[in-house]
Structure 1
C-alpha cells in the first residue's frame, strides 16, 4: 500500500502528517509527504526518514512577507498550478491521497487524485471549515461578514460564496490543465459528504449536522522521544518550574514588545521564563539569566516541566499543553486560534487572552488565573481524558478502505471509537 499525504501551511499543518506517516510506515505502508520546501519541514521529515515532495514557495517566507488579502486569489492560483505540475508524479503508484491544509491546497490535491484515478480523503485539523448551524464560519481576511447578519445559515451561504470568489477561477483553471470538468462550489468539493476531522473529541467535540457525515479520528500526534537540549535541561533543573511563552509560526507585529511583556509578566510572578523563538524570532533584550531562549525543542518533554504555557492557540500546541496537564494562556492571532482559546477557557484549563497584542499587565493578570491551584487541578483532570491514538484510527481506516477495493473517489470509513456526525 502506498499513501501520499498532501498539505500546504505552517508547522501545525505539517506535524500531523509526520505523525500519520510514521504510524503508516510502522504498519508496512509506503508513504510520502507533499509540503512546502521550508528547511525545518525538510529536516523534520528527514528525522523520521519520510520522503518530502516539495511544492510551492516557502511557507515561512510567505507568512512573514505579510501579503495583502487582495493577493489571495493569485497566491491560490500559483499554489494549485504548482500542485498540478508536481503531485501527479508524486501520486503515481499510490493507492490513496490524503488532502489537508488551506482550502485551495486541499482542492488542488483532491483534483490531482481525481485526475490520476486514486482514492482520496479530505481532512481538516479544526472544525471551523465544516458547515454547522451551531456556530459561525470563519471570515476570510478582507471579506468580513456584515455585522447585521446573524443568521448562521445565511453566514454559511456567504462563506461558500467567499470560497468561490477567492478560489473557483484558479481551481477550475488548474482542473482544465488536468483535463477535468469545472466545479461549481469549491467548499462543497473540498469538504465532500464525509470529511475527516483530526481533532480530539474532548477538546473539540463535533455535533451531528444534517447532510455532513464527519469521521472524527482524534488528533494525529507522534510520540516524541527526543531529549531536551542539555542547556535547556540544566536551566529547568536549576530552579522552580518556569513559564513557557511561544507563538510558533506566527509572525507577531511588535515581537520585541511581546518578548519584553512576557519577561515582565514572568518576573511579576517570581518565575523564570523559557521563551520560544519561533518564526517571530523572539529574543530577550537584557540577557538576564532568568530567561532561556529556545528554538526547536520537544514540547512533549518540555511542557510537563513548566508552570504554565502561553501560546498562540494553534491546534497542535493546545493539544500538547492539554496532554501535559499544564494550565494555558492562549493569545490568539488569527484563523481558528480564537476558537481554541475559547475551548481552553470553556474547559477551565486555561485563560483566553483578550486580543492578539499582550502587554505586561494583561499577561500578568491572565497568569494570576492560570497559576491558581484549581486551574492546575482542572488541567490534570482533563489531561486524563484526552486521547493520543488518532493516528492509529486514521491509519486503520485508510488501510481498510484500500483493502476493500472499489472505484476511485472519496474514502469512506467508520468512526471507530470516536464520535461520527
Structure 2
C-alpha cells in the first residue's frame, strides 16, 4: 500500500515506485486524492487508486485560510482512517508520504493492522537537521530572533503537535491505539527515506536521523507528444516552456501576460502550460502555443529553457533533461529547489513568487547563456535514474522477501 495526499508532485513518484514494485512481482495499491488525472495516470500503469479525501485540485484552487489548517488536518486524518484500513488489509508493507496529517494517519493504520511501514519525504526540508531550519506552517511563523536550527526544530515539533496532535490521537483512540506524544517524531521515526537525488539534493551528515536516500522515484515516460505540439516545436527554434504545475497563481491573467512578453523579449517562442492555474495565452500570435498535460521528459529536451514553480518533480525532470531552468518559487520547499538550481549553475532562481517583465527577463537572460546550457548538460549526466528500483528492492528487504518472489 502506497499512501499519500497532495498534488501531482506527491502522486507521480508513487507511480514510478508502483511500476518497479510490480516488475519485482508485488501487488500494489495507491491511496491518493480522487482527482481524475491521478486515477487516469495510475490506471495507465495498471495500478488501482483507492480515493481518499476531497479533490486536491479543488482544495488547492479554493486556497483556504491558514487559520483552517487544524480543521483541514483533522478532516484529512479522519479520511485516511476511513479509506486506508480496508485497502491495506492483506498488505505486507505500507509506504506513507504526503503532508504530516496524512502520513501520521496512514502510519497509524499500519500500526493498527500490525504491518511494517516506511515514512518517505520528497524533499529534505521537513527532516530535522542541524544544517537547515524547518519550514514554517502558514500562520505560525517562527520568532525572528531565533536562529539556532536545533531550537527551531523544537519549535517545529511543538507547532505540529498543536496543529494535528489532538485530531490524530482522537482517531487513534477510536481505533484502539494509544496516543502519540510527538506527531513529527512518530511520523519520521529513526530511519525515514528521502526520495531525492543526492546531486540535486545532498543530505548532510551528521544529522539526528539515519536517513535513507534512495534517489528520486522517476519512471521513463514513453508517451508521444501530441501532433499539434510536435508541429509547433518543429516549426522554429526551440521555445521557452513556462508552467507552474499545481500552483494556483491567483494572478494568473497577469502572470500569463508577463511570462509571454518576457520570453518574447529574449527573441524566443513561448510554450505555455495551463496547469492548475488554467493559464491562457493573451493573444493569437503564432509564436505561442498552449498545452495541457504532456510528457515532460519528451518535451523538456526540446525547449530552450524551462520556467517553472520549483516543485521537486519538475525540478528533477528538468535537471535530467539537461535544459536550463528558471525557477519562480511560489511556496513551501520551492525556494529551496530554486536555490539548488542556482548553486549548481544549471539555471536561475527568480527572487520571489511574482515575476515582472524586468525580473523574469533578467532571469531568462542568465539561464539562456551557453555557459548555463553546458553546465545543465553536464549535471544531467550525474543524476540517478534508478531511485524507484532502489526503493522497491528496499521494501522487499523490509519485509524479508525475495525479489522477485519465488511464485512470481
TM-score range, shorter chain: over 0.9
1:29-178 equivalences in 2 (<5 Å): 29-178=26-175
Return structure 1 stretches of 4+ with deviation > 6 angstroms: none
Q: Distance in 2 between matches of 1:342 and 1:335?
A: 13
The corresponding residue for 2:362 is 365
Alpha-carbon deviations, 1:23-51, whole Å to 9, x = none?
11111110010000001111111111110
CA shift at 1:96, angstroms? 0.2
The corresponding residue for 2:378 is 381
CA shift at 1:342, angstroms? 0.4
How many residues get paired?
Answer: 402
Q: Distance in 2 between matches of 1:211 and 1:257?
A: 44
1:300-379 equivalences in 2 (<5 Å): 300-379=297-376
Alpha-carbon deviations, 1:258-301, whole Å to 9, x = none?
11111101111111111000000000021211111000100000
1:194 has 2:191 as partner: yes
CA shift at 1:404, angstroms? 5.7
The corresponding residue for 2:405 is none
> Structure 2 stretches of 5 or more lacking a match?
403-408
Alpha-carbon deviations, 1:320-351, whole Å to 9, x = none?
00000000000000000000000000100011
Q: Distance in 2 between matches of 1:211 and 1:153?
A: 10
Pick the aligned partner of 2:276 from 265, 275, 279: 279
Alpha-carbon deviations, 1:173-199, whole Å to 9, x = none?
111111100001010001100000000
Question: Does the CA-based 8 Å contact 2:243-2:273 persist in structure 1?
Answer: yes
> Structure 1 stretches of 5 or more lacking a match?
406-421
CA shift at 1:211, angstroms? 3.3
CA shift at 1:353, angstroms? 0.2
Question: Does the CA-based 8 Å contact 2:239-2:304 persist in structure 1?
Answer: yes
Q: Distance in 1 between matches of 2:83 and 2:300?
A: 38
SS at match of 2:129: coil
SS at match of 1:31: coil
1:246 has 2:243 as partner: yes
Q: Distance in 1 between matches of 2:288 and 2:166?
A: 50
SS at match of 1:240: coil
Q: TM-score when scaled to structure 2?
A: 0.97
Alpha-carbon deviations, 1:379-417, whole Å to 9, x = none?
011001000000110001001121269xxxxxxxxxxxx
CA shift at 1:239, angstroms? 0.3
The corresponding residue for 2:12 is 15
CA shift at 1:209, angstroms? 3.3
